[in-house]
Structure 1
Amino acid sequence: MFRALAQYWNSTYSCFTFGRVDLMPTIEEYTTLLHCPKVQVDRIYSRLANIPAFSKKLMNITGMSEQCVTTQIKQKGDCKCIPWRNLRDLILAHPDVKKRVDVFALSIYGLVIFPKALGYIDEAVSDLFDRLGKGTTPVPAILAENFRSLNACRRAGEGRFIGCPLLLLSWFHNHFWKVKKVSYRIFSENYSPLKELVATPRRDDVTEENWMTILQNLQEGDVEWRAPWMVPDEILYRCEDFDWVPLLGI
């Protein structure tokens, strides 16, 4: 499905184009999907010029000694990484429960959300994760990496999507299929589109060619412009002294 979907990515405008329909994931949608507090929206992560060494960040996150961390760091291509198997052993044996949770969360970021080197967690992920505890939002970085990866796949005509496929799949599923909306879920703090998607049986028997046919035949009426779990809380209705300003089409 992702190989087919990437062929409809418009690198010029950073959106998916299906016939007359243009749509892309937004910061607001990914913030809702990831249950990130809105108070963090203005604190966007950006990589600093002078950042602590990889070993120092790992020591802070894992609680391991410098000697132990240094021996586990590997070089994979142009980046430094730590093998997932080493972190897995630490999760199972670490005496500090909070550190176990932190290491597990770091592993999720490295293996699922930013899976650059398969089976490894790289230095860039540790820098982002180290800043999350300070109230920094990861959403723009996650979205930017999705766009960058889609651009690369589209330019090369092939390649591996480096990003969180579950997030993109949840976004796609709720915009392009007419789903049954249950109103209480929209306003429930415990409702998660990602959990619902994981619980939904997958169709692994649909080929890339069949997905291409499905995407080629998408019509404007097949598109749900607002995801059912997005509750609009800000509406533009005035521009200075002019009420009810007509908005331009997409």
Structure 2
Amino acid sequence: MAIITKFTTVEYGQNSELSQLSEGDGSRCNARKLPVVKDLNCMVNEMKRILVHSQNIDEATFSMKYGRLLEITKIEVLNPAIKALINFWDPDYRCFSFGKVDLCLTVEEYGMLMEFPKHLHKVYFPLRSDKVIPELSKLLKIPHLSRFLEKNANGLKWKFLEVELERKKLQYGSMLERDRLIALGIYGLVLFPSLSGVISLEAAAAFVEYENTHVNPITAILAETFLTLNHFRKTGKGAMRCCTQLLYIWMVSHIETKKPIFNNFWWFNQKPLKLVEEEEWGSLGNQGWMKKLQELPSSNFSWKAPWVKSVDVLVSCGQKCWVPLVGITGYVSYAPALVIRQLGGIQHIPRTVGVAEFSGFFKDQSALEVLETIKQDWSHLTLIRKESERLRDPSSSEGYEKWRNLTPTAAPRMPCSEDGPSQIIEGSLKRKKVSNEEDLMGQLERLQIELGKSKVDKTTLEMMMMEGDKSRVFLNEQFEYRDAKIMMLELQLSKGKAIMEESEKERGTLILDWMQSSSELEALKADFNDYQENAEYNQDKFLHI
């Protein structure tokens, strides 16, 4: 049981500002040196494969156990909005920076969105990989579950689990296992996506932990989101290995619109969001969303999301002045003290020393030692609460305003065009100082020639990669189609055999009934002949008399 210490936002903020004076600030990168995000795969099409199987379940019962898993699966994401948003991510301070304003995803906000019926302020620790399949097999009551693993044994193929799900629907008394299969699918394809159509063993481990130990997965979802955003901001491309639907809902909750999107029962009515997307955001592309977000917070900005409730906020763990999080693939830190006014408190200067350096993956050798320290840190939690429910408007201290004006911004510059280069990559070409116009022209010509060659090489490599990717995708689709068809044929064959066996039984029964009826008919004929002979005998006897 963790030891909890509580402060008001003013008490904690004053102590934080005193500590910051002696500690200084953590390192913060210059966002203008980071690449603009250009290649983004949100991986949100998998949700359709889940919704097909969730039409006939008892949603009230499902929500009592798994919160808003089904509702988050129904959200359609605008990819340009997410792509633009990532460009404002600060990978060191783990927040979005819009001018002089910082916004960050928080454990409490994600908890309100998902409404998991488990305690929020508990950290997730991954299950040992060798225990995942046996434990999952028990929960789903599917023997030999390992036969559904993909070739590299890194995850379970959802198409095979879908067949089992269809069988569970037909079996009486299998409602619990059916709901668990649907929840597992959402864990692996929506909350913690990996490869298309594959539920990673890490996502399956998170599901098993929720079922067996009732650990709320929110901290793991948040950790994977931070790790994914950091990767994107530093590389400028990749696939979203986090819950994009949650990130999108969080984002639009802080943008004011002409028509209100959210109400007290907004989870059950997403029509207002779709109307705003069509009427106000329909014409916005990548550039439009970049421009819209760059204008925050001067216009169309909301500090607090409309659905935020008054709750205690976790700001630090153990000896750390921030919160360490554990995901399914790694660990990362974040500093909720940066964004206290998002949850209705008074903003003070945060402590940020050590935030940027605390991040890693489980494949690293030092991960086990780090996990042990995180476990110790989470045994002592520091929470803050609002001073009064009447403080509706978020505010900040005088010291914070001065500090934030001196802190370098993490907001990016606008890319040149949708498809053009977003920045000049410094490579082997070093710019030399030139003394006259002739040297300058010669250097420019050499640079243009080398640039042209690089573009040709790049185009050739991209074409080769695209052809290879197309061939690989086509072969994989053919193999998957064949495997699925074989399974469906085997299922149909087994059903046909069962029908034939039942028909044979009915045929045998009919033959026995026919034989019995024939015997009874023969007996009736014999009785009738005896009766006829007796009648003739009696008639002859009567005539003689």
Shorter-normalised TM range: 0.7 to 0.9
TM-score by length of 2: 0.39
Match of 1:91 among 145, 165, 183: 165
Would the alpha carbon gap of residues 199 and 91 (structure 1) be closer, same or farther in structure 2, given more than 3 Å must change?
Answer: farther
Q: Is the 8 A contact 2:140 2:177 kept in 1?
A: yes
CA shift, 1:9, in A, is 0.6
Match of 1:81 among 128, 152, 155: 155
How far apart, in 2, do the equivalents of 1:142 and 1:179 lie? 31
Matched, 1:169 2:271: no
Question: Match for 1:151: what amino acid?
Answer: N
SS at match of 1:3: helix
**What are the residue-to-residue correspondences of 1:14-29 with 2, within 5 Å?**
14-29=94-109
How far apart, in 1, do the equivalents of 2:207 and 2:257 lie? 36
How far apart, in 1, do the equivalents of 2:225 and 2:292 lie? 22
Deviation string, structure 1 residues 60-118 (Cα, Å, up to 9, x no partner): 2321112xx12211145xx6111111111111111211101100110011111111111
Q: Is the 8 A contact 1:178 1:224 kept in 2?
A: no
Match for residue 126 of structure 1?
204
Q: Is the 8 A contact 1:6 1:150 kept in 2?
A: yes
How far apart, in 2, do the equivalents of 1:138 and 1:132 lie? 7
Deviation string, structure 1 residues 184-210 (Cα, Å, up to 9, x no partner): x44xxxx24485279624456532122
How far apart, in 1, do the equivalents of 2:256 and 2:240 lie? 22
How far apart, in 2, do the equivalents of 1:154 and 1:199 lie? 27
Q: Higher helix proportion, which one?
A: 2
Question: Match for 2:305: what amino acid?
Answer: A
Q: RMSD across aligned C-alpha pairs, in angstroms?
A: 2.6
Matched, 1:42 2:118: no
Deviation string, structure 1 residues 126-148 (Cα, Å, up to 9, x no partner): 11101112321100100110110
Match of 1:140 among 208, 211, 219: 219
Gap regions ≥5 residues in structure 1: 239-245
SS at match of 2:238: coil
Matched, 1:200 2:237: no
How far apart, in 2, do the equivalents of 1:198 and 1:46 lie? 38
Would the alpha carbon gap of residues 88 and 153 (structure 1) be closer, same or farther in structure 2, given more than 3 Å must change?
Answer: same
Matched, 1:9 2:83: no
Question: Match for 2:197: what amino acid?
Answer: G
**What are the residue-to-residue correspondences of 1:95-244 with 2, within 5 Å?**
95=171, 96-133=174-211, 134-178=213-257, 185-186=263-264, 191-193=265-267, 196=270, 200-201=274-275, 202-203=277-278, 206-234=284-312, 235-237=385-387
Would the alpha carbon gap of residues 35 and 180 (structure 1) be closer, same or farther in structure 2, given more than 3 Å must change?
Answer: farther
Match for residue 71 of structure 1?
147
Gap regions ≥5 residues in structure 2: 1-79, 313-384, 389-395, 405-545
SS at match of 2:126: coil
Q: Is the 8 A contact 1:43 1:135 kept in 2?
A: no
Would the alpha carbon gap of residues 44 and 192 (structure 1) be closer, same or farther in structure 2, given more than 3 Å must change?
Answer: farther
Task: Report the structure number with the largest CA radius of gyration.
Answer: 2
Question: Match for 1:167: what amino acid?
Answer: L
Match for residue 243 of structure 1?
none
Q: Is the 8 A contact 1:3 1:158 kept in 2?
A: no
How far apart, in 2, do the equivalents of 1:43 and 1:17 lie? 28
What fraction of aligned residue pairs are identical, expressed as a percent?
27
Would the alpha carbon gap of residues 217 and 108 (structure 1) be closer, same or farther in structure 2, given more than 3 Å must change?
Answer: same
Match of 2:137 among 41, 52, 59: 59
Q: Is the 8 A contact 2:132 2:208 kept in 1?
A: no
Which deviates more from structure 2 when the two are superposed, residues 206-215 or residues 145-154? Answer: 206-215
How far apart, in 1, do the equivalents of 2:230 and 2:116 lie? 26
CA shift, 1:125, in A, is 0.8
